[in-house]
Amino acid sequence: MNNTDPRVDAYIAKSADFAKPILEYLRALVHRTCPEVKETIKWSFPNFDYRGSIMCSTASFKEHCALNFWLASRMSDPHHLLVTGEEKTSMGSLGKIKSLADLPAEEHLVAFIKEAMLLIDNGVKQKKPEKPKEPKELIVPDYVPAALARSPKALETFNNFSYSHKKDYVEWFEEAKTEATRNKRIDTAIEWMEEGKSRHWKYQR
């Protein structure tokens, strides 16, 4: 195989025993079908680049492997083998692969690789994600504005927050199992909001 990357060798070597033959098979098949492909490591797992674009990637997890085609949403799927929607994020384009027997027939894999190459050759890009729907009206319990009224600054901050920031605080209050816990959270929230801070300000940069 040409255009290999020693980091991919290391990745496979460190993978679980069940995953090694799967990763090695897919790696060899990609190279055999697309001799121009170049290996690299992106996002901590093997990626296969074709003419400057990501064509596909492989990954191993604790109990399964994944093969992901970058342009899967643009690919034809006459045999209904591709996983789409939210499931694809963790399962890859072909679902959870726990053994070589879980893979489609080689002819179908080769067809997917060739189609992925053709899409790149034709300059096809990923589909743009659909714009999120308008958020539903947030139901704010009466006790929230009543409590925040103790601090005009906190109340003003809350009223100016985005839908998601308001939701974060309301859900935090509502998840409290006792009134004492809820009141403690409200006191903390008031302090934070007086400083213009959101619920998850500690994790924001």
Whether this prediction's pTM lies above 0.85 is answered by no
Task: Evaluate the CA torsion angle 109, 111, 114, 115 in order and state its sign.
Answer: negative
Q: How far is CA 33 from CA 114, 117, 130, 189, in A?
A: 7, 10, 33, 58
Residue 116: Cβ within 10 Å count: 27
Average pLDDT over residues 177-195: 93
Mean pLDDT of the chain: 90
Confidence of residue 205 (pLDDT cuts 50, 70, 90): low
Average pLDDT over residues 26-38: 96
Q: How far is CA 75 from CA 62, 112, 114, in A?
A: 28, 8, 10
Average pLDDT over residues 164-184: 92
Tens of pLDDT along 59-112?
A: 999 999 999 999 998 999 999 999 866 555 567 899 999 999 999 999 999 999
Domains within the chain, CATH numbers bracketed: 6-121 (3.90.1150.200), 143-203 (no CATH)
Q: Give the whole-angstrom CA distance, residue 82 versus residue 95.
A: 8
Percent of the chain whose predicted confidence (pLDDT) is above 90: 76
Predicted pLDDT of residue 3:
86
Q: Is the pLDDT of residue 202 over 90?
A: no
